[in-house]
Structure 1
Amino acid sequence: MSLAPVAVIGMHRSGTSCLAGCLENLGLTLGEVITEAPHNRRGNRENPRLWPVHDAVLARVGASWDRPPLEPIAWTRDEIAGLRSVLADYEGLPRPWGFKDPRATVLLDGWFEVFPDLRLAASIRHPLAVAGSLRARDGFDPAAAFAAWRGYNLAVLRWRGAIAFPIIDYDAPDYEVRVRRAAAALGLDAQAPMPFRSDELNHQGEQPEAPQEVRPMWRALQALAA
């Protein structure tokens, strides 16, 4: 089994917390993470010490979590050093270990510099569901939500064109089957109980066809999801 870490990636409000929590149930060690939050009843499963590292890289290029860059970002030596300092949190944890922060989706070049064999698992979600969730949490208008959704998922597609990794549709009716299949590919215990997933965590319900401006990308993501 590979001991390389696993990055759970994807757009904010796209089920990355659920995917990380489910993979944790199946044997992926996440370390000290947030397990309860106002807009994430079971926690976002993130190590908050990674946030300022990622935010600093984004700020340097004039981007932010809600205005993602559209091109890959090369990290500076100091930024890599900042990441390595946080990685001390993961020393001594049972393997395999992983992390989740949606920001990493558009910042993976730095992570691959530190871990050339980094493994990925992505969560995707219908753009209207994401827009609805961002409106409820942050007051986003649809245009801003779709722009952010495109930026993050552009990165998912870019990386999926370079390396193979599972992409999981958060709203797929066979979600559990897909996650367990991905877990098996990652060397986790695909047969273990997976209580993290709960339909009550999904507040957006079924969605109509994606709006025209994001429809081609959504179809491309769905074609790769399994």
Structure 2
Amino acid sequence: MIFKYFERPVIVIGMHRSGTSMLAEALHHAGIHMGVHRDHNFEAMHFLSINQRAMWAAGADWDRPAVPDEGHFDTWSAKELYKIHFQIKNRFEYIFSRLADRPWGWKDPRNTFTLPHWLKVFPKARVVHLVRHGWDVALSLSRRNQVPGEVYSSMLDDPLNGFRLWNVYITQAMKYTNCQILHIRYEDLLEFDINTISRLEHFLERKLKIHLEKVLRKTLVRNVHYPIEIVENEWIKKFYPH
């Protein structure tokens, strides 16, 4: 199919501190263009800005999220978003880029709540939902609160609040059943689980293993003891049954 990638961007969703930055970096190295202008979390700045403004307009934010209404979003066409993403300056560059038909996409945890809008703009988008154990996410958020210059949310000093926020994100992500979506675990990528990587490669039609090996810089550390609220959580039981 010619020009298939224009209307099929890869949209990465998932809770903050769940490995989405690592995944986005691997996808970019694998040839899925994740944006010319990206921040240190590998988030395309224009999509991040649109998501953030929509959530603010809805009276929400990343740590108290909600699904914005359509009226809360800036009005951008698919063509305009594509041109900004690739920093296309003129008609010739646009025609050349469309003919090259480069795979592309973007990552932002806020996509978890703004996805209904993006699916209206790009109905054929492929969505990757990366899941990390909620308690590990909560502990990571609490530690990040202690890093000067990083995003800070006072409620996340308490890891239980971080876990509850994780539950809000994953509950929202699991509602998307009307789109092409793949749910994978961060821990499986860290352990180079062949089945998980094969599913991801098949889903994105792209070889990823060598690129994941380059960006995975952490080793998996498994917690043994969890508060009862974590053990009894429905999503923990679904994604981490053992």
Quote the sequence identity (%): 28
* 2:73 paired with 1:79: yes
Q: Distance in 2 between matches of 1:27 and 1:210?
A: 39
Partner Cα separation in structure 1 for residue 174 and residue 186 of structure 2 = 16
Match of 2:43 in 1: 46
Length-normalised TM-score, structure 1: 0.79
- Corresponding position: 1:64 with 2:58: no
Pairing partner for 1:179 from 197, 214, 217: 197
1:152 to 162, 166, 169: 169
What's the secondary structure of 2:235's corresponding residue?
A: helix
Q: Secondary structure at the match of 2:223?
A: coil
Equivalent runs, 1:7-18 vs 2, <5 Å: 7-18=11-22
Describe the shift of the 1:94–1:209 C-alpha distance in structure 2 as closer, same or farther (beyond 3 A): farther
Q: How many aligned positions are there?
A: 210
How big is the shift at 1:133? 0.9
| Runs (4+) off by over 6 Å | none
Q: Distance in 2 between matches of 1:151 and 1:27?
A: 32
Moved more, 114-123 or 59-68: 59-68
CA spacing shift, 1:142–1:83, aligned 2, 3 Å: farther
Paired with 1:105 and 1:198, the residues of 2 have a C-alpha distance of 23
Structure 2 distance, partners of 1:83, 1:222, is: 40
Match of 1:40 in 2: none
Q: Deviations over 1:171-205 (max 9, x none)?
A: 126435323431222111346544433243x5x72
Cα pair distance change 1:193/1:63, threshold 3 Å: closer
Select the residue among 43, 52, 56 that pairs with 1:55: 52
Q: TM-score, normalised by structure 2?
A: 0.75
**Which amino acid is the alignment partner of residue 187 of structure 1?**
E
* Structure 2 counterpart of 1:170: 186
Partner of 2:90: none
Q: Which residue of 2 aligns with 1:30?
A: 34
The whole-number CA distance in structure 2 between the counterparts of 1:75 and 1:53 is 12
> Matched residues in 2 for 1:27 and 1:54: separation?
24
Structure with larger Rg:
2
Structure 1 regions of 5+ residues with no counterpart? 38-43
Q: Quick one: which amino acid aligns to residue 181 of structure 2?
A: F
RMSD (Å), alpha carbons: 2.7
CA contact (8 A) 1:46 1:100 kept: yes
Greater relative CO (CA pairs within 8 A, separation 6+): 1
Are 1:196 and 2:219 matched, yes or no? Answer: no
Distance 2:48 2:61 in 1: 11
Shift of the 193–61 alpha-carbon distance from structure 1 to 2, 3 Å rule, reads: closer
The 2-side partners of 1:86 and 1:52 are apart by: 12
* Letter aligned with residue 183 of structure 2: I
2:84 — aligned with what? 89
Range with bigger deviation, 25-34 or 8-17: 25-34
CA distance in 1, matches of 2:159, 2:58: 24
Assess, with a 3 A threshold, how the Cα gap between structure 1 residues 57 and 75 changes in structure 2: closer, same or farther. same
Which residue identity is paired with 2:28?
E
Specify the alignment match of 1:135 in structure 2: 142
Whether the aligned pair in 1 keeps the contact of 2:58 and 2:69 (CA below 8 Å) is: no
| CA distance in 2: counterparts of 1:33 and 1:218, whole angstroms | 35
Write out per-residue CA displacement over residues 25-83 of structure 1, whole angstroms, 9 at most, x where no aligned residue: 33311122437x4xxxxxx21112222311121122221001112xx43321x724157
Equivalent residue runs for 1:113-124 within 5 Å: 113-124=120-131
